[in-house]
């Protein structure tokens, strides 16, 4: 039924590998924390959560959000990491500079991210697919200076690349330039997601660690129901890293996982439906 390799799951009664998502809640259930939890659960992991913001949204867009105070975001991380322990973490919507600062400080204190044993995937969420802002504009400097240097992998799409690096990726060469700049900001690996950059029927993501470029090419699944695709990709990378995959293997795994989810995406409400990690447990 699947060409996506199965990640090993824990035997009943034994504690699964734990991961953490540090992200915003999507009331529509398609992106953010909800996308992460669906992917983590279906990949056999126990997922812990540090909520950064509660968004008010449906399939038509985000009408507002309430931030969680930075100290409560950091406290959620600390109390989980100190007791339950995690094998990898990811960040999604972080909303503001003070929340990014608090998350980065807690990552340093708890030994998450670059240079530690616990990988940190930074999905630098700036806006929803409808263009609704999910990160304050003035927080971009903080993202660049404090969180990206802690990233094991940073996973921007082309809009986020433009906001973070100022580079307008239009072709193969500028995609490489962007990966170099992101790596230069301190991320151990930069994954520049290509979307429909190079052709309308392929999607090519570029991964760079300062020495070698790795390309991940896949048939582009053309669907309006791709809400949460970036979150799902980053969550699947995090899951594979928690299982000790190398970063290139984790990206390859995640790309096939999200492609299956896009192929199984469903309509929801009057707008855009979500990428569907439930394909794993769907009827054949
Ligand atoms: O897909 C990016 C994203 C992340 N987190 C939250 C979101 C969205 C997109 O809408 O709402 C909470």
pLDDT in tens, 192-224: 999 877 667 888 999 999 999 999 998 889 899
Q: What is the DSSP string of 169-219?
A: --SHHHHHHHHHHHHHTT-SEEEE--TTSS-SSEEEEEEE-SS-EEEEEEE
Which residue's CA is the nearest one to ligand 1's atom 1?
A: 228
Domain boundaries of the chain, sorted by first residue: 18-279
CATH architecture of residue range(s) 18-279: 3-Layer(aba) Sandwich (3.40)
From the CA of 63, how far away is ligand 1's center (Å)? 12
Instruction: Please give the distance, rounded to the nearest whole angstrom, from the Cα atom of residue 262 to the centre of ligand 1.
Output: 16
Q: Determine the pLDDT at residue 54.
A: 98
Closest ligand 1 atom, residue 229 Cα: 1
Contact residues for 211 (Cβ-Cβ < 8 A; gap 6+): none
Atom of ligand 1 nearest to the CA of 65: 12
**Across the 284 residues of the chain, what is the mean pLDDT of every consecutive 10-residue run?**
76 96 98 98 96 97 97 98 98 98 98 96 95 95 98 97 96 96 98 82 93 94 93 98 97 96 96 94 82
What's the 151 CA to ligand 1 centre distance in angstroms?
Answer: 19
- Decide: 21 and 47 in contact? Cβ < 8 Å: yes
- Cβ–ligand 1 contact at 32 (below 6 Å): yes
pLDDT at 1: 43
Mutate to test the pocket of ligand 1, among 31, 60, 195 (most ligand atoms within 8 A of CB): 31
28 close to ligand 1 (CB < 6 Angstrom):
no
Q: What's 173's DSSP letter? A: H
Residue 230, ligand 1, Cβ within 6 A: yes
Rounded to a whole number of angstroms, the distance between the first and last alpha carbons of the chain is: 7
Q: Is the CB of 228 under 6 A from ligand 1?
A: yes
User: Which residue has a Cα nearest atom 2 of ligand 1?
Assistant: 128
């Amino acid at each position: 039924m699947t060409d996506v390799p199965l990640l090993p799951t824990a035997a009943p009664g034994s504690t699964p590998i734990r991961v953490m998502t540090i992200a915003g809640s999507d009331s529509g259930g398609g992106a953010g924390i909800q996308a992460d939890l669906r992917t983590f659960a279906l990949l056999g992991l126990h997922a812990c959560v540090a909520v950064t913001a509660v968004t008010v949204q449906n399939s038509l867009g985000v009408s507002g959000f309430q931030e969680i105070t930075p100290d409560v975001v950091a406290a959620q991380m600390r109390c989980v990491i100190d007791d339950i322990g995690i094998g990898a973490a990811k960040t999604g919507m972080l909303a503001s500079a003070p929340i990014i600062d608090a998350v980065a400080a807690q990552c340093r204190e708890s030994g998450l991210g670059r240079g530690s044993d616990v990988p940190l995937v930074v999905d630098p969420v700036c806006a929803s697919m409808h263009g609704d802002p999910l990160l304050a504009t003035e927080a971009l400097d903080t993202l660049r200076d404090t969180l990206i240097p802690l990233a094991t992998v940073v996973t921007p799409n082309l809009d986020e690349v433009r906001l973070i690096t100022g580079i307008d990726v239009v072709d193969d060469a500028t995609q490489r330039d962007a990966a170099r700049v992101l790596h230069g900001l301190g991320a151990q690996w930069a994954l520049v997601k290509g979307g429909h950059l190079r052709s309308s029927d392929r999607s090519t993501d570029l991964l760079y660690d300062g020495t070698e470029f790795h390309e991940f090419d896949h048939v582009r699944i053309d669907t309006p129901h791709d809400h949460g695709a970036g979150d799902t990709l980053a969550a699947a990378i995090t899951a594979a890293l928690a299982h000790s995959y190398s970063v290139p293997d984790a990206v390859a795994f995640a790309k096939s996982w999200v492609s299956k989810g896009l192929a199984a995406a469903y309509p929801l409400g009057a707008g855009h439906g979500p990428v569907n990690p439930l394909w794993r447990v769907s009827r054949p």
